[in-house]
Amino acid sequence: MKDIMIATGNLNKVKEYKEILEPLGFVIHDLSEINHTDVEETGTTFSENALLKAESVVKSCKMICIADDSGLSITALDGAPGIYSARFMGDKTNTETNAVIIEMLKDKADRSAWFTCAIALIDHEGESHLFEGIMEGSIAFEPKGSNGFGYDPIFIPKGLDKTSAELTSAEKNAISHRGKATRLLLEYLKENY
């Protein structure tokens, strides 16, 4: 009952889930343990994409399944990259993508942005549950920090003067979009498992 499949191939996400869920007695599994092909993210929201991923994986395992979809939305870019965050610049590295975003914002007064994380959980009965968290902030003028991944080096959480990549894992989990969504998930798990 305490086994949870994390439906992602992103080992950084798996690591974050392990840090949060294992101390509570959950055993975390990842896609390397099952035969699975990636699902096409055809949803129009983070929640829809998270649910698509969870539904595709739960068929291959006999345990609770969690999938998430998350991304960065930038006000001056009309909410882009949004649901396309993971594939915003195609094959460019995170470093290259972050440099392009900083360049795109060079003449913009409004540097506000936010991260969204939607977590979909499918329980033992096949029922789906959704949990969402948002972290507001702004885009830095240059990348800083080596913790975290993706857009973390260019994102400054609201109320702070350093990027997400300059925070410790504990500091980031306390305020992040994934941390917020995960705390809602934890409330559900504590009540039901």
Which of the residues 38, 69, 110, 161 is marked catalytic?
69
3-state secondary structure the chain: CCEEEECCCCHHHHHHHHHHHHHHCCEEEEHHHCCCCCCCCCCCCHHHHHHHHHHHHHCCCCCEEEEEEEEEEEHHHCCCEHHHHHHCCCCCCHHHHHHHHHHHCCCCCCCEEEEEEEEEEECCCCCEEEEEEEEEEEECCCCCCCCCCCCHHHEEECCCCCCHHHCCHHHHHHHCHHHHHHHHHHHHHHHHC
Taking the C-alpha atoms of 20, 29, 4 and 34 in order, what is their torsion angle to the nearest 10 degrees? Answer: 150
Please confirm, yes or no, whether 69 is among the known catalytic residues. yes
Active centre residues (catalytic): 69
